[in-house]
Structure 1
Amino acid sequence: MSKTQKAPQRYRMHVKAGDTVQVISGKDKGKVGEILKTIPSESRVVVKGVNIRTKHVKPQQEGESGQITTYEAPIHSSKVMLYSVKEKIASRICYTFTDDGRKVRMLKKTGEILDK
């Protein structure tokens, strides 16, 4: 790595892949979906059904037709809030310890423990 390049910084995010989240700002505000992928170096997440983009794909071979594909683009992790499917409510998280001493994530509003 040269002197002008910086090493990518790892950010600790409040969400993980597989969590159910609600979008709290932007054009998809209010949508609920599951996190498919996290990008910690950019502090971004890919949420199923949110921030849908279209891509025009050129034909690769002769005689093949081009196509338009859709995909979920990443959004910033600060735009999502963890969502309780049981209570149908979005909440901040806190960290707590279980009886066996494990540190787990818990929803503040409902007391629901996220990590199994």
Structure 2
Amino acid sequence: MGWKSYQKLIHQWRILRGDNVMIIRGKDRGETGVVKRVVRSQNRVIVEGKNLVKKHIKQGQGHEGGIFTVEAPLHVSNVQVVDPVTGKPTKVGIRYLEDGSKVRVSRGIGASGSIIPRPEILKIRTTPRPTVAGPKDTPMEVVMERTYDPKTGKGMPDL
């Protein structure tokens, strides 16, 4: 949580990584950017190229020291998702389509009510799936082995 007192954590997040958001409070008010990272444990988001601060970093093994400009996290209440039709900041609601799929829609005063698409970056895995079997992986011939026959009842435990 950091040094601040306990905050109530958000359980249903409306802002996702890759969303186009507008900063509504702070020194970068009115500017838009893409959410680079979501820090759910602190209710904060990092917007690409916004809320820049100077950070003094001490020299260590493998990296140089100096003064660097980095993006500081913003509280989630200080940003809003941009409506894809009007281009204005809007609240995000959830609707279900006729086919049963769940979508995000823009809502609020002056909102178009249009669907806000999920960012494409969420489909890319951050850690790739392993392509070779590891030492703890079950071999495929053991996985595909048939251990129960429903017609004869072979493999059924005696109860």
Q: TM-score, normalised by structure 2?
A: 0.59
CA contact (8 A) 1:104 1:113 kept: yes
> Paired residue for 2:26?
26
- Say yes or no: does 1:111 pair with 2:105: no
**Which of the pair has more CA radius of gyration?**
2
Please list, as runs of the form range in 1=range in 2, the aligned pairs for 1:1-116 lying within 5 A after superposition: 11-60=11-60, 66-108=65-107, 109-116=111-118
Give the whole-Å Cα distance in 2 for the aligned partners of 1:97 and 1:11: 20
Which runs of 5 or more residues in structure 1 are unaligned? 1-8
Give the whole-Å Cα distance in 1 for the aligned partners of 2:41 and 2:78: 16
More strand, by proportion: 1
Give the whole-Å Cα distance in 1 for the aligned partners of 2:48 and 2:94: 26
Distance 1:41 1:60, change over 3 A: closer
Deviations 1:10-66 (A, max 9, x none): 6322200000111111121111111011011211111112211111233336xx974
Give the whole-Å Cα distance in 1 for the aligned partners of 2:79 and 2:101: 25
Identity of aligned residues (%): 33
Number of residue pairs aligned between Structure 1 and Structure 2: 108
Bigger relative contact order, structure 1 or 2 (CA pairs below 8 A, ≥6 apart):
1
CA contact (8 A) 1:11 1:41 kept: no
More helix, by proportion: 2
CA-based RMSD? 2.4
CA contact (8 A) 1:54 1:71 kept: yes
CA contact (8 A) 1:16 1:38 kept: yes
